C-alpha cells in the first residue's frame, strides 16, 4: 500500500472529468440513435410479418457479433471501400446500431405485452392505427419498457470503454494515457471503475424514480 500514489489522481483529475463528460455525450447521442432505431424496428416487428422478418436479420446480426468487431468494421472496414467517417460519427453509428438491436427487442416485447383488448377498444372508439399506437398502446408500453431501457443506457455507457480503439478521448482512452505516463495502474483504473459505477448508479436511481411516477395511477 505504501507504493500507491493517489496524488496521481489529483494531478490528472481535470482530464478524467473531461473524459467523463465526453463519455456521457457519446452515450447520450448513441442512445438517441439506438432509441429511434429500436422504436421503429420493434414496432415494425410487433405488427408486420415480412418487414419484421427482414428486420430480424439486422437484430440477429448486431446481437450476434461483438461490438468491438462492429466498431472496427464501421471505422476501418468501410473506409477501405470508400465510406470514410470521423471517429466520433463511427462511434455513434456503431453504438447506435448495436444498441438499437437490443432496444428493438425491448420495444417489441413491451408492445406484445399489451392486451389485445386495448387495440379493439381503441378501434371501437374510431381510432386509427396511428392514434391507437400513440395514445393508447405506447403510454402503457412505456411503463413496461422503462426499466430495461435505463439498463440499456447503463450498458451503453459501459460499452463506451471500447471506443478507446477509435482514439476518442473517453475515460478508458485517457486512463490508458495516464497509465502509460505514470505506470500507476491500480490508482487510475480503480478511480475510473468508481466513476463508471457512480454514473450507472445515478441512472439506476433515475430508473426507479421514473418507474414510480409512471406507475402512479396504474389500475
Is 76 within a domain? yes
The whole-number pLDDT of residue 131 equals 82
- Domain of 170: which CATH number? 1.10.3720.10
Is 34 within a domain? yes
Is 150 within a domain? yes
In the structure grid, which three cell numbers stand for residue 59, read together? Answer: 437484430
In the structure grid, which three cell numbers stand for residue 49, read together? Answer: 410479418
Domain housing 211: 7-215
In the structure grid, which three cell numbers stand for residue 48, read together? Answer: 408486420
* Higher pLDDT pick, 155 / 8: 155
Is 163 within a domain? yes
pLDDT at 11 over 80: yes
The whole-number pLDDT of residue 25 equals 95
Is 1 within a domain? no
Number of domains the chain contains? 1
The whole-number pLDDT of residue 2 equals 47
What dihedral do alpha carbons 33, 39, 45, 46 form, nearest 10°? Answer: 170
Which range of 99-108, 114-123, 162-171 scores highest in mean pLDDT? It is 99-108
Under the banding of pLDDT at 50, 70 and 90, the label for residue 4 is low
Average per-residue pLDDT for the chain? 87
> pTM of the full predicted structure?
0.86
Is 114 within a domain? yes
Is 84 within a domain? yes
Q: How far apart are CA 18 and CA 109, in angstroms?
A: 37
The whole-number pLDDT of residue 123 equals 79
Task: List, in order, residues 6 or more apart from 191 with CB less than 8 Å away.
Answer: 9, 16
pLDDT, tens digit (0-9, with 9 covering 90-100), for 14-55: 899 999 999 999 999 999 999 999 999 998 888 767 777 789
The whole-number pLDDT of residue 1 equals 45
pLDDT, tens digit (0-9, with 9 covering 90-100), for 135-186: 888 888 888 888 889 889 999 999 999 998 888 888 998 899 888 888 888 8
Listed as own residue / partner, the contacts of 196-203 with beta carbons closer than 8 Å and 24 or more positions apart are 196/157, 196/158, 196/161, 196/171, 199/20, 199/23, 199/24, 199/157, 200/154, 200/157, 200/158, 203/150, 203/153, 203/154, 203/157
75 burial type by CB count under 10 A (0-12 exposed, 13-18 middle, 19+ buried) = buried
pLDDT at 111 over 70: yes
Is 2 within a domain? no
Amino acid at each position: 500500500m505504501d507504493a500507491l500514489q493517489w496524488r496521481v489522481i489529483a494531478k490528472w483529475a481535470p482530464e478524467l472529468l473531461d473524459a467523463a463528460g465526453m463519455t456521457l455525450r457519446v452515450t447520450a447521442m448513441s442512445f438517441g440513435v439506438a432509441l429511434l432505431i429500436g422504436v421503429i424496428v420493434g414496432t415494425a416487428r410487433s405488427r408486420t410479418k415480412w418487414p419484421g422478418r427482414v428486420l430480424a436479420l439486422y437484430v440477429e446480426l448486431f446481437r450476434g457479433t461483438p461490438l468491438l468487431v462492429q466498431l472496427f468494421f464501421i471505422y476501418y472496414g468501410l473506409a477501405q471501400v470508400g465510406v470514410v467517417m470521423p471517429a466520433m460519427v463511427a462511434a455513434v453509428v456503431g453504438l447506435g446500431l448495436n444498441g438499437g438491436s437490443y432496444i428493438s427487442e425491448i420495444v417489441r416485447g413491451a408492445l406484445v405485452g399489451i392486451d389485445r383488448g386495448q387495440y379493439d377498444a381503441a378501434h371501437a372508439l374510431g381510432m386509427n392505427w396511428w392514434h391507437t399506437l400513440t395514445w393508447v398502446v405506447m403510454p402503457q408500453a412505456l411503463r413496461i419498457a422503462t426499466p430495461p431501457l435505463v439498463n440499456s443506457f447503463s450498458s451503453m455507457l459501459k460499452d463506451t470503454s471500447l471506443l478507446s480503439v477509435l482514439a476518442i478521448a473517453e475515460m478508458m482512452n485517457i486512463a490508458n494515457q495516464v497509465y502509460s505516463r505514470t505506470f500507476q495502474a491500480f490508482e487510475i483504473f480503480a478511480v475510473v471503475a468508481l466513476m463508471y459505477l457512480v454514473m450507472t448508479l445515478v441512472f439506476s436511481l433515475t430508473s426507479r424514480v421514473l418507474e414510480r411516477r409512471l406507475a402512479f395511477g396504474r389500475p
